[in-house]
A and B are shown apart, each in its own frame.
Chain A
C-alpha cells in the first residue's frame, strides 16, 4: 500500500470514528439522564490495538427501552437443551414460554417425531392458579408418569423451569431424583433456568451447561459407557444445527479424517452427550453458550478444546488447519485435502457473487458467536461490516471480536430498539443482519435485511456448502428489485 493510500485509509477511519462518536452522542440524547449514563457504557467504536471493544456488557437491561434480549429459559430450553432430540423437555410452568419457543429455532434433526424424537413438540405442565398456590411438584411427578406411559421410547427428561417455579419454592430436584430412581436410573435433569435469573439468555446457557455436568456426566450410579475410542475422535460443541449447520460442518471434519462422536446439541442425543468426555478434542463453535462445559471437560477429563469458525472460506480454512494442528500428519494432510477439494466451489461462488456485493456495508446485531464469526464470510464476498453488537455477549466475546472488526467499527451492546433504528437510519448500510423483531422495522425503512438467527428460513450457512447458500442469500437480499419500489414515483 502506498503512503497516500495509507493516509487516505487513516483519514477515512478518523472520519468514521468522528461520525460514530457524534452518532452515539446524538442517540443518547433521547434518554433521561440516568439512562443515558447507563447506555453510554454500551456504545462505542473499536479502537485498533485495544484488547476489547471498549463497551460494557452482560449487565442488566434498562427497563422500558425495548431490549432485544430474551431470558434464561430461552437460553436453556430454547438453545442448549431443546435440540437434544431423544429426550423430552418439559416447559415447566404456564403455557406461554413453551408455546412461543415451539419449533421456531429450526434445530434440524432426523427422527420420528412423537415416537423416538421430540424436538418440535411442546410438552408443558400448563400451570393453573392452583399449581401456583399449592405447588407443582405432585403435578410434575404425574407428568413424568404420563410421559413414560405415552412416550416409552424417550431416553430421558429435562425440566425447564419457567419463572414461577423458583418463586413458589417447588423442589424439582427432589421430584427428578425420585422419578429417576423409580424409572430404573433414567436420566432426569432438573434445570433452574427461570426467566428472571441473570440478565439475558446467557445465564440460561450456563445453568444448562452445569445441569449437563451434574446430571449427565456425574449422574449417580451411571454405568461407564462401552465405547471404542479412536485417536481421531472429536465432538462438535455449540452448533445448534440451524437449517442443518452442524451437518455441513460435520461433513468437513469427517472428510479430513476425524470421527465426530457427538453433536452439541443440534441433532444431538443423550448418548452423544454421555460419550463426549471420551473425545480427543472438543471443537467449539458457539463459545458463549458452551464454553462452560468445555472447560469442565478439560479440567475433569483432560479433553482439550479449541474454538473454530466455519463461516466463509477464509475462516474455514484457518479453522480446519487449527483443528488439524491437534492431530498427526494424517489429519493435517486431510485438512489440506479438504481445503483443496472445495477450492473450486469457493472460487466459483466468489466469482459469481462478489461482483454483485463488493463494497456493500453491513450492520449486525445478533447473539452468541455471530456478531463476530460471520464477518469473515462477508469479507470473503467483498463486503464490510461497519457496525456490530451482541444481544448477550460478555467481555470475552468483545475481546474475541477485536480479531474480526476494523478500526472504528461501531459497537453496540444490548442495543435498544430506538438506538438500532437511529443508527441504521444514519449510517444507511446496504444490509442489516439481525432477528425477527428487527426484520420488518428495517425493511419498512427500505433497508435490505436477513435474519441471522434463523438464516431467514434458509441455510445451512456453515461450511463450504453453507457458504454458497450464504452468498446467494445475501445477494438476493440486497439485489432484489423490491428495494427500487419503496419510493413513490409521483412524489
Chain B
C-alpha cells in the first residue's frame, strides 16, 4: 500500500506504484485480448509514414479529431454579448448542456443558456408548445431584457419555423408583444461555430434594424461618426475586447462594441452571482445602424453579417484576426482612415516598443518552422505574425476553412520568402495534422488544448492558441490584439522556445555546455 495521509497520492502518482502497475499488467494479459506488442509497434510506426499519410489524406467520409464545433455554440457565444440577454436554443436539451459546459471549461465562468427541451413528441408534432412554454418560463424566471433564439439540428431537421413560433408565443401571451426575441436558424450540419456566431449576430441586427420581424417600421439610418466593432468568435474575448476599447479610447473614437462578451465571461468573485454582466445595450445595438463604419476583426465569423451591414449603407472593414506589428498597423490605419482621426503618439510608442521587443528576440525565431491549426481568421493572423518574426508557418490547417480562405492563406505565403515552403489545408482535421507532423516535422505547433494529443504523439511542442483551452488557465484574460497583444503572443512563443532549448541542453556532462545563463 502506497497511499498515506501525510502526503496523499492522487492519480498522478498513485497508479505508478508497483501494486497498480502489476494489476494493469495482469488485466491486460489475462482479460483484454490485447494486441501483441510487436504488432502494436509495427502499426504504430506505420502511422508515422508517408504511406499512411497518403491513405489518411485519401479519406472521403470519416472525420477524426476535427478542429471545429457546431453552429449553436457560436450563436450562444454571440447572444451572451448583449445586455441581460438569455440565449434560448430550440431543440434537444442535451445540446445546451454541452454548450454551457464547453464555454465554462474554457472561460472558467458560468454560462447561462436555456433549452426548449424537445423530445420524441416534439419530433413528431413539432416544437411549438416547447417554444411557447419555454419562452414564458425563461422570461418569468430569469428576467432577461432580451431572449435570443437559435436552433439545434433536431429543430432544423423537422423544419420548425422560428419566426412563426415566436409570433405565436407572443399571441399566446408567453412574452409581451413588444418584447425583443431575435432569432437565427443555426443548423449544426452547415458550417461551424463561426457560422453560428455570424447567423446569430446578423439575426440580432436584423431584428433591431429591419423592423423586429415586421412588427414595427424598419429603422431609418441617420448617419453619425461612430464606429461599430465586431470581435467574432474569440476565446480571448475578455482581454482582446478590453484592449480594443483602450485603443479606440486612445484614438478618441466614439464606438459600439457589438456582442461584447468581455464582462459576462469575466465576472468578479465578490459574493454575488451575476447571470448577466456588461454586454452591448439594446439601444446601442439599434443605434449601431447609424454608424459610419463597422470593423470585423474576423472576416470568416462575419461572412453574412458584414454584407448585411454594408447593404444598410455603412462602410465595412474586414480583418483577419490581426496579430503583431503589420496586422495592428493595418487595423489602426484603417481606423484612422475611416474616422479621419489622427493616430496618437502613445500608439506610435507602443508600436515602437513591440518592434523593439521583436528585434531583441527574433534570432530565436528566425527560420523556425511552425504548424498552426484553428479557426480561419486566427490561422491567418498568426501566420502573418510568424512570418513577420522570420518564422515559417509550414502547415496551416483549418477544419472550418473554405477554399476562399485557403486562397487567402496562399496569397499570404506568396507575399514573403518565409512563406515559400508553406502549405495550407482547408477542411482537414487533426488526424491529417498528425500525418503532416510525422512526415514533414516542424519545430513548434500552435493549437488549442486538443493539440496536446499531437504533442504527445509526435513530440512537437505545443504553444496553446485559440479555442478551447481547457488545460491552461486565464489565457483568455490577456489580449492577443493590438501592439500589447502582439507582445503577449511574442512572450508566449519565446517562453516555449527557451523552455525547449533548456530542456534539450540540461544533461550534465553531455549537453549542458549549452545550458546558458543568458539567451
Residues of chain A whose beta carbon lies under 8 Å from any beta carbon of chain B? 30-32, 34-35, 60-74, 86, 93-97, 99-104, 108, 110, 112-116, 120-129, 131-132, 139-140, 142-143, 146-147, 149-150, 152-153, 155, 162-164, 166-168, 195-199, 201, 243-244, 247-248, 250-251, 254, 260-263, 267, 269-272, 275, 341-342, 345, 348-349, 351-353, 416-418, 421, 435-437, 439-446, 458-460, 464-465, 468-469, 471-472, 482, 486-488
Contact in complex: A275, B31 (CB < 8 Å)? yes
A94 and B94 alpha carbons, distance in the complex (Å): 14
Known A-B contacts A100-B102, A122-B66, A269-B31; A443 and B97 likewise in contact (beta carbons under 8 Å): no
A149 and B43 alpha carbons, distance in the complex (Å): 11
CB-CB < 8 A to A421: which residues of B? 273
Contact in complex: A243, B31 (CB < 8 Å)? no
CB pairs A–B below 8 angstroms (12 shown): A63-B137, A65-B137, A65-B141, A69-B93, A96-B73, A131-B189, A167-B157, A196-B118, A244-B14, A267-B27, A446-B270, A464-B3
Contact in complex: A66, B114 (CB < 8 Å)? yes
Contact in complex: A100, B98 (CB < 8 Å)? yes
Q: Does B360 touch A at the CB level, under 8 Å?
A: no
User: Whose C-beta in chain A lies nearest to the C-beta of B142?
Assistant: A418
Contact in complex: B59, A66 (CB < 8 Å)? no
Contact mask for chain B residues 458-472; partner A; CB cutoff 8 A; 1 contact, 0 none:
000000000000100
Select one of B24, B39, B138, B269 contacting A486, CB under 8 A: B269
Residue picked from A124, A436, A458, most chain B C-beta under 10 Å: A436
B450 CB → nearest A CB, Å: 7
A359 CB → nearest B CB, Å: 21
Contact in complex: A63, B117 (CB < 8 Å)? yes
CB-CB < 8 A to A442: which residues of B? 273
CB-CB < 8 A to B142: which residues of A? 66, 417-418
Q: Does B9 touch A at the CB level, under 8 Å?
A: yes
A260 and B141 alpha carbons, distance in the complex (Å): 50
B142 CB → nearest A CB, Å: 7
CB-CB < 8 A to A244: which residues of B? 11, 14-15
Contact mask for chain B residues 268-311; partner A; CB cutoff 8 A; 1 contact, 0 none:
11111110000000000000000000000000000000000000
A142 and B434 alpha carbons, distance in the complex (Å): 21
Contact in complex: B273, A261 (CB < 8 Å)? no
Contact in complex: A116, B40 (CB < 8 Å)? yes
Q: Does B410 touch A at the CB level, under 8 Å?
A: no
User: Whose C-beta in chain A lies nearest to the C-beta of B61?
Assistant: A142
Residues from 1 to 40 in B contacting A, C-beta threshold 8 Å: 1-6, 8-11, 14-15, 19-20, 23-24, 27-28, 31-35, 39-40
Q: Does B64 touch A at the CB level, under 8 Å?
A: yes
Contact in complex: B453, A153 (CB < 8 Å)? no
User: Whose C-beta in chain B lies nearest to the C-beta of A446?
Assistant: B271
CB-CB < 8 A to A124: which residues of B? 63-64, 66
Select one of B61, B64, B119, B130 contacting A121, CB under 8 A: B64
Contact in complex: B154, A196 (CB < 8 Å)? yes
CB-CB < 8 A to B104: which residues of A? 436-437, 439-440
Contact in complex: A146, B114 (CB < 8 Å)? no
Residues from 50 to 82 in B contacting A, C-beta threshold 8 Å: 52, 55-56, 59-66, 68-73
CB-CB < 8 A to B188: which residues of A? 93-96, 127
Contact in complex: B32, A272 (CB < 8 Å)? yes
Q: Does B239 touch A at the CB level, under 8 Å?
A: no
Contact in complex: A251, B19 (CB < 8 Å)? yes
Q: Does B267 touch A at the CB level, under 8 Å?
A: yes
Contact in complex: B271, A164 (CB < 8 Å)? no
A187 and B451 alpha carbons, distance in the complex (Å): 31
Select one of A31, A60, A114 contacting B117, CB under 8 A: A60
Residues of chain B whose beta carbon lies under 8 Å from any beta carbon of chain A? 1-6, 8-11, 14-15, 19-20, 23-24, 27-28, 31-35, 39-40, 43-44, 47, 52, 55-56, 59-66, 68-73, 88, 91-95, 97-102, 104-105, 108-120, 122-123, 130-131, 133-142, 152-154, 157-158, 187-190, 192, 267-274, 431, 434, 450, 453, 457, 470
Known A-B contacts A128-B190, A445-B272; A104 and B105 likewise in contact (beta carbons under 8 Å): yes
A267 and B23 alpha carbons, distance in the complex (Å): 12
A31 CB → nearest B CB, Å: 7
Known A-B contacts A99-B70, A125-B62; A64 and B119 likewise in contact (beta carbons under 8 Å): no
CB-CB < 8 A to B66: which residues of A? 95, 99, 122, 124, 126
B249 CB → nearest A CB, Å: 26
Given A86-B34, A96-B69, 11 other A-B residues pairs in contact with their CB atoms under 8 A: A60-B119, A65-B138, A121-B453, A139-B61, A150-B55, A164-B154, A168-B157, A196-B92, A198-B120, A437-B111, A486-B271
CB-CB < 8 A to A60: which residues of B? 117, 119
User: Whose C-beta in chain B lies nearest to the C-beta of A30?
Assistant: B141
User: Whose C-beta in chain B lies nearest to the C-beta of A244?
Assistant: B11
Contact in complex: A66, B73 (CB < 8 Å)? no
Contact in complex: B136, A32 (CB < 8 Å)? yes
Contact in complex: B134, A104 (CB < 8 Å)? no
A421 CB → nearest B CB, Å: 6
| 9 cross-chain pairs, A with B, having the tightest CB-CB distances, nearest first | A71-B94, A96-B70, A63-B134, A64-B134, A271-B33, A100-B98, A94-B188, A64-B137, A348-B5
A289 CB → nearest B CB, Å: 15
A94 CB → nearest B CB, Å: 4
CB-CB < 8 A to A102: which residues of B? 65, 450
A385 and B478 alpha carbons, distance in the complex (Å): 40
A198 and B123 alpha carbons, distance in the complex (Å): 12
B75 CB → nearest A CB, Å: 12
CB-CB < 8 A to A443: which residues of B? 269
Contact in complex: A67, B115 (CB < 8 Å)? yes
Select one of A71, A110, A139 contacting B24, CB under 8 A: A110
Contact in complex: B61, A95 (CB < 8 Å)? no
Contact in complex: A269, B269 (CB < 8 Å)? no
User: Whose C-beta in chain B lies nearest to the C-beta of A68?
Assistant: B97
Known A-B contacts A114-B47, A167-B154, A469-B10; A195 and B134 likewise in contact (beta carbons under 8 Å): no
A59 CB → nearest B CB, Å: 11
Contact in complex: A458, B11 (CB < 8 Å)? yes
Known A-B contacts A108-B11, A163-B92, A444-B269; A196 and B123 likewise in contact (beta carbons under 8 Å): yes
B56 CB → nearest A CB, Å: 6
CB-CB < 8 A to A486: which residues of B? 269-271
A345 and B95 alpha carbons, distance in the complex (Å): 43
A68 and B110 alpha carbons, distance in the complex (Å): 13
CB-CB < 8 A to A436: which residues of B? 101, 104-105
Contact in complex: B1, A74 (CB < 8 Å)? no
A307 CB → nearest B CB, Å: 23
Known A-B contacts A64-B134, A66-B112; A465 and B9 likewise in contact (beta carbons under 8 Å): yes
Known A-B contacts A153-B39, A468-B3; A63 and B119 likewise in contact (beta carbons under 8 Å): no
User: Whose C-beta in chain B lies nearest to the C-beta of A168?
Assistant: B157
A247 and B104 alpha carbons, distance in the complex (Å): 29
Contact in complex: A153, B59 (CB < 8 Å)? no
A235 and B438 alpha carbons, distance in the complex (Å): 40
User: Whose C-beta in chain B lies nearest to the C-beta of A348?
Assistant: B5
CB-CB < 8 A to A66: which residues of B? 112-115, 138, 141-142
Known A-B contacts A65-B138, A113-B453, A142-B60; A459 and B11 likewise in contact (beta carbons under 8 Å): yes
Known A-B contacts A31-B141, A122-B65, A418-B142; A261 and B271 likewise in contact (beta carbons under 8 Å): no
CB-CB < 8 A to B92: which residues of A? 71, 163, 195-196
Contact in complex: A349, B133 (CB < 8 Å)? no
CB-CB < 8 A to B5: which residues of A? 345, 348-349, 351-353, 468
Contact in complex: B119, A94 (CB < 8 Å)? no
